[in-house]
Amino acid sequence: MQVIRAVGREAAAKKYDLLSAMMAHGLAADKHRQRLVLRLMALITSRYNWQRDELTVGQREIARLWCVDERTVKREMAKLRVLGWIEIKQQGARGRVSVLGLNLERILLDTRPEWANIGPDFVERVGGASQRVEAAPEPSNVVPLRRGAGVAPAEGLWGAAQTRLAAEDRALFDAWFAGLADGGIAGDCLTLVAPTRFHANYIQTHLIERLRMAVARSDAGVRQVRLSTP
């Protein structure tokens, strides 16, 4: 997916599109998710630096903005990190607050089911702008096999993760994820076997975070993914 970059001539429209997607997602969810999304939107509109992808604000200031105590801030920010919507870019130290960033790709993926609630024009505009682009330095004579149609879904954790990945982007799943085989779980790490070294390297370089998130959301106890080849 090519993430919306809210910079340049159409920056304002792109910002509104992202916030609209979050709004639609929150309104369609339960009251807990609604509140979490609203709180993040408050941080984005008041404190987020779009050009630098930086959110630098202390817990005390967040608590004041949200009208809550700092314990609630810690709990809610932890939820956003687990969702993958925010990431720590620089850990705070010596009196300095942490520098956070937004995972715009993850936010778009999670809000996509609700885009239609805004309208078909929004789906066409944002869907067209956020279509996956194979931006990797992939050799032009190497084309990933379309494996999805002829491969039976796996069972267990990898099967649940496959279902999530296919729902997010079927074409991407067929090209890269469907060909992975379950190599077993050891501790908090799931091993997946790729058909070729190139296949494994491509996923490791460009798609590992999406893969890891799907696995973690299927089983919170498994946070790591390791790729191997036969």
What local confidence, expressed as pLDDT, does residue 128 receive?
A: 62
Q: Among 76-90, 129-143, 151-165, 180-194, name the one with the lowest average pLDDT.
A: 129-143
Q: Tell me the C-alpha to C-alpha distance, in Å, between residue 144 and each of 177, 207, 212.
A: 10, 14, 20
State both tokens at 152. 């039976």
Q: In terms of DSSP bridges, do strands 224-228 and 189-193 run parallel, antiparallel, or are they unpaired? A: parallel
Residue 140 pLDDT > 60: no
Question: Under CATH, which architecture does the 11-110 domain have?
Answer: Orthogonal Bundle (1.10)
Instruction: Give residue limits of the domains in the chain.
Output: 11-110, 139-228
What's the per-residue H, E or C state across 79-109?
A: HHHHHCCEEEEECCCCCCCCEEEECHHHHHH
Strand spans (E) along the chain:
48-49, 54-55, 86-90, 99-102, 181-186, 189-193, 224-228
Q: How far apart are CA 3 and CA 135, in angstroms?
A: 12
* pLDDT band at residue 125 using 50, 70 and 90 as cut-offs: confident
Residue 205 pLDDT > 80: yes
For 188-204, what is the mean pLDDT?
A: 94
* pLDDT band at residue 152 using 50, 70 and 90 as cut-offs: low
For 185-204, what is the mean pLDDT?
A: 94
* pLDDT band at residue 230 using 50, 70 and 90 as cut-offs: confident
What local confidence, expressed as pLDDT, does residue 132 receive?
A: 40
Write out pLDDT tens, residues 53-105. Answer: 999 999 999 999 999 999 999 999 999 999 999 999 988 777 788 899 999 98
For 137-142, what is the mean pLDDT?
A: 45
Q: How far apart are CA 164 and CA 158, in angstroms?
A: 10
What CATH class does 139-228 carry?
alpha beta
Residue 134 pLDDT > 50: no
* pLDDT band at residue 139 using 50, 70 and 90 as cut-offs: very low
* Coil/strand/helix, residue 54: strand
- Considering the chain, what is the average pLDDT of its residues? 85
Question: Does pTM surpass 0.75?
Answer: no
Residue 133 pLDDT > 90: no
